[in-house]
Amino acid sequence: MNPDIAATALTAAREAAAAAAEVIRHYWRRGVEVELKSDATPVTVADREAEQAIRTVLQAALPQAAIYGEEFGLAGERGGLLWLVDPLDGTKSFVRRTPFFSTQIALMDGDELVLGVSSAPIYGETMWASAGGGAWFEGERVRVAGVAGMAQASISIGNVKTLTADARWEALGALIRDSNRIRGYGDFCHYHLLARGSLDLVIESDVNILDIAALAVIVREAGGVFTDLDGAPPTLDTTSVLAGAPAIHAQALQRLRRRAAG
């Protein structure tokens, strides 16, 4: 990507996340009505207005880029620059007054994820990254930990319902037994912890690309590895995650693959 466009895009993504944060804080204080979408997932006025605020900023900054958002779908044509937007990832937490939700904004250039901003306005964290520019947490560059052995590794899992019926479920149990610590931070939180070296492996099985695109860029630019459970890089069709410090990711992937094949 042209460096000038990349700089413009990162500035716009951060400004869009800040605009969404204002909307989210407003409705967090006053409360919202909850509706159900056709897939039975919840949605609120905060989700919709936050996405509208994001789209306004992104369209003004990069009118040539398409936008695919959780609430309003695709505007523009895929194939070039494509924004991926989840204005309020974690609506279930939002409506239950739990601060584990975030705004996720990523940019794809063709098939490559090149930029990500992850903003958790109530939790109080923002991370961002761009291809070749490193990962940043509140203005400080961050990196994954250098843990090399599973016995020293901290693991976090989330959204593992489908994995319970998978052949790899027993392998996950073995990983947990062999690890140093197991938690279930979930959502944006465990990826932020991973990127800044406070966690070593994240496993999820029920996600979509809008949930994890920005986080994939952040983890990668922090020196980590971010794939699906089969070891493939994230795409628009990705539904699972294996993300970690390089050595821990490699060991976990080998064990999960062996169990899936067996």
CATH code of the domain covering residue 100: 3.30.540.10
- pTM to 2 decimals? 0.95
Same domain, 164 and 123: no
The pLDDT of residue 38 is 82
Q: Domain check: are 9 and 126 in the same one?
A: yes
Q: Residue 89 and residue 217: Cα distance in Å, rounded? A: 17
Say whether pLDDT at 114 is over 60.
yes
Per the model's pLDDT, the better-predicted residue between 195 and 257 turns out to be: 195
Compute the average pLDDT of residues 72-80: 89
pLDDT on residue 17 = 98
Q: Are residues 253 and 160 located together in one domain of the fold?
A: yes
Residue 3 has what pLDDT?
83
**184, 98: one domain:** no
Instruction: Over range 4-8, report the average pLDDT.
Output: 89
Q: What is the dihedral of CA 166, 101, 109, 202, to 10 degrees?
A: -40
Q: Is residue 55 in a domain?
A: yes
Band (104; pLDDT cuts 50, 70, 90): very high
Domain region containing 189: 150-261
% helix / strand / coil in the chain, to the nearest 5? Answer: 40, 25, 35
pLDDT tens per residue across span 87-100? 999 999 999 999 99
pLDDT at 19: 98
Task: Say if residue 214 is in the same domain as residue 110.
Answer: no
pLDDT-derived band at 259 (thresholds 50, 70, 90) equals low
Alpha helices in the chain (DSSP H): 3-30, 45-61, 91-95, 169-178, 187-195, 209-221, 246-261
- Write the pLDDT tens digit of every residue in 164-217: 888 899 999 999 999 999 999 989 999 999 999 999 999 999 999 999 999 999
Residue 113: pLDDT over 70: yes
- The answer to whether position 140 is within a domain reads no
Looking at every residue in the chain, the average pLDDT score rounds to 94
Q: Report if residue 144 sits inside a domain.
A: no
Torsion, Cα of 223, 250, 212, 210 (10° steps): 130
Q: Report the share of the chain in percent with pLDDT over 90.
A: 81
User: Is 191 found in the same domain as 109?
Assistant: no
The amino acid at residue 74 is L
CA distance 216 to 20: 21
- The yes-or-no verdict on residue 262 having pLDDT over 70 is no
Pick the last residue of a domain from 131, 164, 187. Answer: 131
- Per the structure, the count of domains in the chain is 2
Lowest mean pLDDT among 27-36, 54-63, 170-179: 27-36
Q: What local confidence, expressed as pLDDT, does residue 260 receive? A: 61
* 211-233: average pLDDT: 97
